[in-house]
Each structure stands twice: as C-alpha cells, then as structure tokens.
Chain A
Amino acid sequence: MSDAQIWLIPGLPLIGAIIAGFFGPRRMREQSHWPVILGCAGACVYATIALIRLLNSAHDVTCRISAPSYVWFSAGQLDVQYSITVDPLTAVMLFAITFIGSWIAVYSIGYLHGDPGYARFFAELGLFVFAMCMLVMADNLLLLFLGWEGVGLCSYLMIGFWFAKPSAAAAARKAFLMTRIGDAGMLLGIFLLWRHFGHTLKFTELFDNVTRAFEAAPAETQSTLTLALLLLFCGAIGKSAQFPLHTWLPDAMEGPTPASALIHAATMVTAGVYLVARCMPLYHLAPVAQATVAVIAIVTALLAALIALTQQDVKRVMAYSTISQIGYMFLALGSGRLELAVVGIAAALFHLFTHAFFKALLFLSSGSVMHAMGGVIDMRRLGGLRKVMPVTHATFLCGAASLAAIVPFSGFWSKDNIVDTTWEASHLPNQHLFYLVLFLIAMFTALLTAFYTFRAYFRTFTGDLKVPPEAAEHAHGHGHGVSYESPSVMTVPLIVLAVGAVFVGMILGPTHWLAHFLSRTPAYSFLHHQHTGMELNWAMMLASTVIALGGLGLAYVVYVRHPSAEPRFAVNHSTLYNLSQNRFYLDEIYRGIVTMPATALALLSSFLDMLVDGLVDVVGMIPSWIGAALRPIQNGLVQFYALAMVLGLTVFLCILTLRGWR
C-alpha cells in the first residue's frame, strides 16, 4: 500500500455516500445499500492493511503513515492543509469505526427494509463514516474540526431521520445545538493555541512549540495552555455528551437504532475521548485541565448511572450507560497524570475499543427487539423474550455481561484497566485524596452499572412471556412454536459483534498488546515513559469482579426474586426515585436558565429593534417638522413677501453700512 492510498479510507465511504445519495432515491431504491456497504468494507480493508503495516514497522519514529497533503486554505499566518496521517492511535480508531460501521450497515439492510428513506439512510451512513475517518486521520486541528462538524451533521440528520415525528425533529435540533455550544468553545480553544504557540495547527508542530514554550516560561505558558485546553475540552464535552451537555444523547435515541448504535454509542460520541487522547501531550502539561477532565468524567459517570437505574426504555438505559462509560474513558485520561499518561491513554482507548463492540451489540440487539416488537422498547410491556428471540437473547446477554464488566468478557478487562489507572494515580505525589475519591466513586459506579444492565436484561428477556400487540406482524409460526427472531441479515452482524464483545478483551487485556501498540504513537514521545503499567493487578481484578457480580446479584434478587421491589421502592422513596427517573430535572433546569432567557432576550431584541427603528423615523420626521414650522411663512400673500423683502433688504443694508462705518 502506498502512502497516498490512505486517502481511500475516508474516500471510499464518501464515494459510496455520493452514489447512494444521488442515485438511490430514484434508481437504486432497495439496492442503495450496496455502494455504502462496499465503501465501508473497502475502507475497513485499507484500515486493516494500514494497521498491519504499523504493527510491523521497526522504529517508533516511523510508526506513522502520512499521505501527501493539499492546501485547503491559507492566507496570512493561517495555513490549513488537507493532510492526513495514520499512527497507532488513529489506526485503532479507524479499525473500530470501519469494522463496526460495515457490520452496522449490513444490519441496517434488514432494519430499514421498506422505509421510504432507505437510500437517504445509507447516504447519511456513508457520509458519517467518511467524516469520522477524517476526524481521526486529520493531522491538524481544523481538518479535525471538519470531521467533527461532519459527524455532528450526520448525527443531526440521523436523529431527524423520521423528521415527521415531532419528538425526533426536536431531538435532532437539540443534539445539533448542544454540541454546537461545545464546538464554539472548541474553536476558541483551537485559535488560542494557534495564536500563542507559533501560529500552527498541525499537531506535531503544536506539541513541539508548546513543549518548548513550557520549558522557557512554565508559569505563563501554563495559564494560557490551561485556558485553551479547557475550551478544547468544551468541544469534547458537547460531542461526547458529558455533564453538563449530556442531555441531548438520550433524546438522540429517536433516530433509527442502527444510527444510535453507530453514531450515538460506538463511534461519534467517543470523538471527544479521541480528541483529548490526541492532545494528551498538551493536557499532561496542564494539571488543572487534566483534573477538570477527571472531575467532569466522574460526575458524568455517576450521574448517568444513577439516571439509568430507573429508566423504562431499554434504549434510554443504553444511552445513559453510554454517557457513563464515556465518563470512564475520560476518567482514564484525567488520571493519566505524569508518568501514567500513556497508561491512561491506553486504558481509555482500550475501553473505547471494547465499548464500541459491546455497546453497538447492545443497541443492535435492542433494535432487534424493537424491530420484532413493532417498535415497542418499553421494559414494562416486554418480558420473557428469551424463548422467542434466542439469538437476540444470547447476543444481548454477551453485551450485557461485557458492559457489566463480568469476567472474562471484554468490558471487564478494559474497565479494570481504567480503575487501576485511577488507583495508581492516587499513589502519585500530592494526588492521594483526589484520585482516591475518584477511584471509590468509579467503583461504586461499576456496581450501579452491573445493576442497571442486568435490570434491563432480566426485565426484557426473563420471566413470563409478554409481547405487545404491535408485534403481531413480525411473528413467525403459530401456537407454541411462535418465533419473533429477526432475519439473518440482522442476526449475523449481532453474532459477529458478540464474538468481539466476548473475545476482544481476553485477547488484548492480559497481553497489553493495545497498550504497547499505542505507546508507539510518535506524538507520545513527548510524554514520560518510565512507568508502563503493563503488569496485571490481581487484587484489583478481584475487587472489580466482586463488585460486578454484586451488581448482577442484586439485580437478580430485585427483578427475578422480588419483582415488586422496584414499585415499592418508588413509592417509599419517591423523592430519590423521581429524581433519577426525571433525569435530575436537568432538562427542565436548562429550559429555565438557558432556553427561556435566550428566547426572552430574542424577543426583547426584536422589540428593541422597533425602538431603534422608531428613533430613525423620528429623525426622519425632523425635516417635515421644520417644514411645518416654516410653512406659515409661505402663505402666498404678495404683500407679505414684499414686506419680507423690504425688511430683509433693510437689515442687509444696515449691516453693510455699519460695517463700512467701522
């Protein structure tokens, strides 16, 4: 593979999207998925080739593939190139995006079969994969921003896919707008970096400049850097749905489930994690920024887990668990202080990778349930689906076990890495208490995670069979042999992802391959490397296991043994229960403190504008007032004019005479 061929990784899905978008609606119709699936699969092949090439590269310094670059725009000191690079960090992301993206595209054939927007869906999917690839391959901040906004757009379009539904339309706008708030901060951060560190946007040059500036004047650099990085993190907060900008993600579940799986679970929402990981050489110079990342992360993880406890919609539970798990990833990055930096990145990316598999799997399984049940996904109306949807049940269980971090599923290994990193961070000088608290909360959140995951599992798949009437048209067979299982075009991707959710962690966890590979990213040569944290911490693994099993057991006791426990809790502790169920009233609070004041301000501006306009009208009336004042003089009486002339002449003559006299 020549270096220029890495352009095909974003290029092929884009071409697929263009073909599907232009020819899909009229010509290809039900065949519109082909260009996109082929494009994504091709991108996956090239991404794999690039990954293998990097694995085989001999030296750390050459562990990157850079394609020839082209000018995007350049004037003055702002110079932006179309320049892309694949290094280990990017390669891992690319593999996850294109591999999972391809399988989700296959799954969508079944899921969206017969939808009038079939071609549109695939065009948007292709566009999304393109933008996501650009995001992770960009080697300057504004090209990254291209991908960043591109995935945001696709997310908007996908959430609003069924735009005739008011809730979907509103959710689409909410998502686009809330992420945009973060993006505005991110732009400020980008330009602050550009302005103060050598007018460059290229990552490598930026890292170099900042590192040198830091050595020259630590205090001064640090304050600017901290501000810039916090602004940059705003973008990550928005895109990755972290507190306080997380409320768009649960609403985003209005979109088609494959889109939720790909965009709002597996890939796009991890863009923020990628951004912070990419900029880790900067973050580790700014402890305040990094601590902020950690605090936001843990608050989000805990908050989202608490909310997930009481949601009734399986997709919503999954949405909150996504928010919570991304919080874990940020926690790893925030804990990667000093010599732990690379360990933190590795833990975050590991979790990102496994999460992409098991969360996509969980969403697709929920989608399979939803597809079979005629669009119903409310746990209160479902039950005992184990028998009628065996494949979906098995794959959901794999995903749930992985999310709950049960040994030896993937999620266990990666989550263990994260809590281990936080634990290690509490051993760093001057950091004891801070990271110890984070560690304890993280452990508690792990307990909650296992609990709510299996709550969803037990309530949906075990117990007595409960099937809503909407599901009738999807039933196969009659009497006892009724099956609601989805078609194989949907179950095959489920099985593939389930295999990933079970085995990826086992392969990458104990061996630390991913960590070794990531540490060879050339940009991370700026980080300290003393501590690589490659040994297994058996005590920690034991503790994690106990906690995960505890959560599982608790869920079993509550939902299988004592099904009336939750309603009773809801009555006895209604304040707590309502707080959780109503998502801590954050949507209402935002409506009160942001939306309504902004709307009021808009109306006020509009009113003010009438005043300004009125003022102009008043000024405009001055001539006519003057005219009105002078009008009596023009009375048309010749005598009056003659008098005026004589008077004027007299005055004039007087002046002349007086002046001449003097």
Chain B
Amino acid sequence: MDSLISVLLIVLLIVPTAAAIVVALLGPHRRMTVRCISLVAVLLNLAITLVVLVQAVPVLWAKSGGPTFRPDYVTMVNILPLGAAGSSPIQFYIGLDGLNIWLIAVTSMLMLPSVLISWESIKERSNEYYAWLLLLQTSMSGVFLSFDLILFYVFFELTLVPLYFLIGIWGGSMRREASRKFFLYTLAGSLITLLGILAVVLICQQHSGSGMTFAIPELVRTVQGFLNSGQTAFYGLNVQTWIFLALAVGFAVKVPLFPLHTWLPLAHTEAPTAGSVLLAGVLLKVGTYGFLRLCIPLTPDAALVIGVPLIGTLASIGIIYGAMCAYAQTDIKKMVAYSSVSHLGVCMLGLFALNEAGLTGGLLQMINHALSTGALFLLVGMLYERYHTREMAQYSGMGAKLKILATFMMFVCLTSIGLPGLNGFVGEMFTFAGVFDLRAPGATGHAFAVALAIGVIMGMWYLITMILKVFFGPLREPHHDGYFVGDLNTRELFTIVPIMVLCLLIGVCPQPLIDSTKTDIGVVVRFADQARNRVMATPAQPAIVQSEPNE
C-alpha cells in the first residue's frame, strides 16, 4: 500500500503536466474538449489526493517524532551528482508529512473551482490558458512535496512562469505591468533565498564530513547536530542571522510580509479569477511554508532572536496596515487582496510564536486563508462576470437580487472574520494562544496580541462595510445592457459550495486535521525549544500556577 501511495504522489505531479501538454497541443479552437480534459485532470487529481488523505492521515495520527523531518511515502531518485564521490547528489526526493499534506490537499481542492470559474469567462486562447493553469498545479504541488532543496527551489521558481502568463495574457487592463512586477519582485527575492540555501548546503558540506547533500531532512539533522553539540564557531548566531535573513527575503516577498507586499494588490486585481484564487490560496502559502519548513529548522537560533521581534513586528504592522488599506479600497477585489496582507500577518505571527499552539495556528491559518480568501475571490469573480465592474459604489442592495450569492458572500466573510464554528476562528485562537505564550528574548507577546486583537476588530470592519455597501440598502444594479442577470447556476454552485462545506467542517471539528500535523509540528517545536535553551540563559518564567492534570 505504501508503495502505491508513493506512486500516487508522483502521479499527482504527472497528471496535470500530461494534461497541460495534451491541452496545449489541441489548438485554440477546440474549447470544449480543452475544458473537459482540464476538468477531468483536475478531478482525477482530486480523487488521487483523497485516496492519499484517507491512507496517510491515520498514519500521521500514529506517527512518532524523530530528530528531523521523516516524510512518509518517499520517492528518491538521483538526478545529478555534485561534488566529490560519496556526496548525495541532487535528488528527485518527494514525500508526505504533517506539514505539507494539507497544503497539497488544498492545492488539489482549489484547482476544481479554478477550472470551473474559468469555464465561461475565458474565451480566448483557452488551450494555452488551461495548459498554464495545469502546469501551475504541477509546480505548486511540487513545491510542497519536495524534500530536496534544489527540487524545492526549481518548483518554487517554476510557479512564477505559468502565473506570469496567466496574469499577463488573461488579466485586466494593467495586466502587463502587474505580471512584470509580480515576476521580477518575487524572482529578485527568491534569488536571495537561493544564496541562503547554498550557504547552508556549503556549511554543512564543509563541517559535517559526510559530503554534500541537498536533502532537507539530512540538512536539518546536520544543522541540529552542529547546534546541539555546541559547535557555534561556524554556525553561531551571527552566521545564522545572515542565513536567516537571506532565506527570509524570498519567502517574505511571497507571503507577502509588510513592506514587501506591494506587488500583491496589483497582481491580484489584474489576474483572472482563477489566478487570484490560486495566488492567494496556494502561492502565498509557499512563502509561509518556506518559513516553516526551512527558515525555522535551519536557523532556529536566529529565528528566535531576530525572527521573533523582526517578523513579529512586521506581521503585526501588516495585520493592521493591511486591514486599513483594505477598508480604503473601492474595488472589491483589491479589498480582498489587501485582506490577504492582513490575514497572512496573523499566520506569520502564529508561526513565529515558535510554540506548538502558535505553529499549529499558523499552519491552520494557511489552510483557512486558502479556503476563505479563495472563496472570496470566486464570489467577487462571479459578481464581476455578471456586471463587469468591481467598484463597490456601483452596487447597492444586491442581496435582494442575488440571494444565493449574497448568502454565500455573507458566509464566506464570516469565515474570514473568524466567527467561532467556522474555520478562521480555530487558527486565530491558536495564534492568540501562541502569542500569549511567546517566549523569546527581545519580544513580549502582549504587544503582538494587542495587534491581533485590533486585527480582529478591523477584519470585520472592512468586510461588513463591503457587505453593507454592495448587498444591503435599496437595490441598484450597475449599468448593464439589460441582459438577464440570474443568481448562481449549477456550475457556480459546484464551484463554491465544496469550499464552504470545508470551512464549516474545519470550524466544527478541526481536531483530526490538527492531530495529523501534531507530530511534525512537534519536530519544529523541539528545534525552537532547543534554541530557547541555548539562547536564553535563564529558564523561562513558569506560569504562576502550573496546569493541573484533569481528574
């Protein structure tokens, strides 16, 4: 069974690629065939993902932690030997663990609405469009699946290409500028990340005596070995800080962390709906995932000493600033785009609380934001398809006209606001807990907690103001040519309802999900705790009263 799952993981990458090639070769005139093949490929991938989940999640529940990441269902194929004999070469090394499984699931999940929402709206060059979309899926799944640094980086950069074309060809009026800025900005950032990656690899090669390796678990083990044996001469705080900053730049641009976020609103606004959904839902998570998978484990001391105050402060600013900017927007899509800045701030704050609650919250927040914001973009896209405008001022009282869409929008906004019982709440609470329990030199959690609390208020402010402007009030449709505007059709229901069901499910019983990530989050937590022991000479203050075991 295990080998079947590992094969399925490879199939997960092959299916969209193959479909992309087939679709591209079909030519621009067979729109229907192109769409159907894409849909089948996406559904097939979703089915495979479900099989993998059913098999893998119980395994993850029972998994026990080790000194480093231990992915399951591994495939390792040597690609390119580098360096002296005995070195591990660059490998095709993919696997599954608690940190990536749900991100892969979300990727497969969001592809379905992405294809469905493009069904009618993409009319020109549809074969190329779907080819790029499917290729994007390959690269996104690839990033999360990779356990080899070079493979990771290749997939990481590969995500840029399809999205560049998706925005640049099928985007709005400023698409060229948007795609160019998006491409160059993220590329520039990730080149610096590459420097950091190489630095880690080279340091490990020099000092471990076991040759060069690009395998992430191997590198993490080596680095932790250095740190725990007290060999701080070549991997002290100083070195780590530089590496941490280098790694962080690329990921921070991707996240995006304030003040590196300005590519995002433009790219989001100009991208076709599917592009926005995948950009917000998955690609931003590549950044946060990079922090979780690479930054924190490879440079734990720096993450604690520099990361917590620096990233924490930027994230806090981002939460409030993003919400402020979101409120000021008149374009609904741009508002949603800025809300991403705010929500990802919450996610980063959770991750950089560097404790179990915070990291769990950060990971949950990634999934929640993918679902909520993805759904928001979809609904905005549906509204746009009907009236061809996204200006809030053009709309009023749409709740009376588009009842289902309005109800869904309300629901999705509530998930985004973090209403208890829906998904956003769980992640937010863990983030709160993580931040309150923050233990790091040079930072107190209470300031971050206040920022979070302000975010809680402001997150609601812009969203329900949008609902007030667009869906409440006397009915006034934007000017259109008098064609019939109906409520959601069956295709659109299939697009949005699954996401809403998942939102409710995660809100009501998130524990199976949390349990499956527990072990691997635990690995990262242990790195952070060891870093705490190294960095903070004095042991952390215990709580006034220690927790009593439940009787």
Taking the nearest CB of chain B, how far is it from the CB of A311, in angstroms?
26
- Contact between A196 and B356 (Cβ–Cβ < 8 Å)? no
Name B172-190 residues within 8 Å CB distance of A.
Answer: 181, 184-185
Beta-carbon contact of B543 and A172 below 8 Å: no
The answer to whether residues A76 and B360 also contact, given A71-B511, A164-B397, A221-B544 and a CB cut-off of 8 A, is yes
Q: Which single member of B181, B461, B545 contacts A620 (CB below 8 Å)? A: B181
CB distance from A85 to the nearest CB of B (A): 15
Name which residue of chain A comes closest to B525, CB basis. A76
Q: How many A-B residue pairs have CB under 8 A?
A: 175
| A200 shortest CB reach to chain B, Å | 6
A271 CB to closest chain B CB (Å) equals: 14
Q: A141-149, A376-384, A445-453: which lies at the B interface?
A: A141-149
* Complex-state Cα separation, A185 to B432, whole angstroms: 12
A183 interfacial contact with B, CB 8 Å:
yes
Complex CA distance for A613 and B511, rounded to whole angstroms: 41
Question: Which residues of the partner chain A approach B460 to less than 8 Å between Cβ atoms?
Answer: 176-177, 180
- Give every chain B residue within 8 A of A210 (Cβ-Cβ): 545
Please tell me if B377 contacts chain A, counting CB pairs below 8 Å.
no
| Chain B residue, CB-CB nearest to A75 | B360
B426 at the interface (CB under 8 A from A): yes
Question: Is B543 a contact partner of A199 (Cβ separation < 8 A)?
Answer: yes
> Which residues from A are CB-within-8-Å of B543?
195-199
From B8-16, B160-168, B280-288, B413-421, the one touching the partner chain is B413-421
- CB <8 Å contact, B432 and A73: no
Q: Does B321 lie within 8 Å of A185, measured CB to CB?
A: no
Residues of B within 8 A of A156 (CB): 464
Interface string of B395-439 (1 = CB under 8 A from A): 001011000000000000010000111000010011011101100
Cross-chain contact B397 with A78 (CB below 8 angstroms): no
Q: How far is the CB of B510 from the nearest CB of chain A, in Å?
A: 5
Contact A76 B464 (CB under 8 A): no
Whether B387 is near chain A, meaning CB under 8 Å from some CB there, is no
Of the listed stretches A5-13, A212-220, A517-525, A576-584, name the one at the interface; the rest are far from the partner chain: A212-220
Query: Within A173-198, which residues are at the interface with B (CB < 8 Å)?
Result: 173, 176-177, 180-181, 183-185, 187-188, 191-192, 194-198
Question: Given A75-B356, A199-B543, A221-B544, do A173 and B400 touch, yes or no (CB 8 Å)?
Answer: no
Q: Which of A42-50, A289-297, A424-432, A601-609 contacts B (4 or more CB under 8 A)?
A: A601-609
**B421: A residues at CB distance < 8 A:** 146, 150
* Residues of chain B lying within 8 A (CB to CB) of residue A198: 543-548
Is the interface on chain B under 10, 10 to 19, 20 to 34, or 35 or more residues? 35 or more
Min CB distance A232 to B, Å, is 13
- In the complex, A560→B23 CA distance in Å? 85
Residue among A164, A183, A194, A602 making CB contact with B433, cutoff 8 Å:
A194
How far does the alpha carbon of A221 sit from the alpha carbon of B457 in the complex, in Å? 29
Nearest Cβ in chain A — how far from B537, in angstroms? 23
Contacts of B397 in A (CB 8 A): 163-164
Given contacts A180-B460, A188-B453, A199-B547, is CB(A78)–CB(B357) below 8 Å?
A: yes
Asked if B191 CB lies within 8 Å of chain A CBs, one says: no
Give chain A residues whose Cβ lies under 8 Å from the Cβ of B434.
Answer: 76
Interface residue B169 (Cβ < 8 Å from any Cβ of A):
no
Are B181 and A602 within 8 A (Cβ)? Answer: no
Q: Which of A78, A146, A170, A601 contacts B430 (CB 8 A)?
A: A78
Asked whether A339 is an interface residue with its Cβ less than 8 Å from the other chain, the reply is no
For the complex, is A169 an interface residue (Cβ under 8 Å from B)?
A: yes
Give every chain B residue within 8 A of A205 (Cβ-Cβ).
548, 550
In the bound complex, do residue A142 and residue B429 qualify as a contact, i.e. CB atoms below 8 Å apart?
yes
Alpha-carbon distance A192/B472, docked complex (angstroms): 37
Do B432 and A169 touch (CB < 8 A)? no
CA distance A646 to B142 in the complex (A): 51
Q: Within the complex, what minimum Cβ distance (angstroms) separates B314 from chain A?
A: 13
Which of B329, B358, B433, B460 has the most A CB atoms < 10 Å from its CB? B433
Q: Are B356 and A76 in contact (CB under 8 A)?
A: yes
A605 and B321: CB pair below 8 A? yes
A394 CB to nearest B CB, Å: 38
Known contacts A176-B464, A188-B450, A602-B325; A145/B430 CB under 8 A = no
Give the 10 A-B CB pairs with smallest separation, nearest first: A76-B356, A169-B472, A606-B328, A76-B357, A605-B324, A146-B420, A613-B262, A78-B433, A602-B327, A75-B360
25 A-B pairs, CB-CB below 8 angstroms? A73-B429, A75-B357, A76-B358, A77-B356, A77-B357, A146-B420, A149-B420, A150-B419, A163-B399, A163-B400, A163-B471, A173-B465, A177-B457, A194-B436, A197-B545, A198-B543, A209-B545, A212-B545, A213-B545, A216-B544, A601-B324, A602-B324, A606-B325, A606-B328, A609-B325
Chain B residues with CB under 8 Å of chain A are: 181, 184-185, 259, 262-263, 265-266, 321, 324-325, 327-329, 355-358, 360, 397, 399-400, 414, 419-421, 426, 429-430, 432-434, 436-437, 449-450, 453-454, 456-457, 460-461, 464-465, 467-468, 471-475, 509-511, 514, 518, 521, 525, 543-548, 550
Chain A residues with a Cβ under 8 A of chain B: 71-78, 80, 142, 145-146, 148-150, 153, 156, 160, 163-164, 166, 169-170, 172-173, 176-177, 180-181, 183-185, 187-188, 191-192, 194-200, 205, 208-210, 212-213, 216-217, 220-221, 224, 598-599, 601-606, 609, 612-613, 616, 620
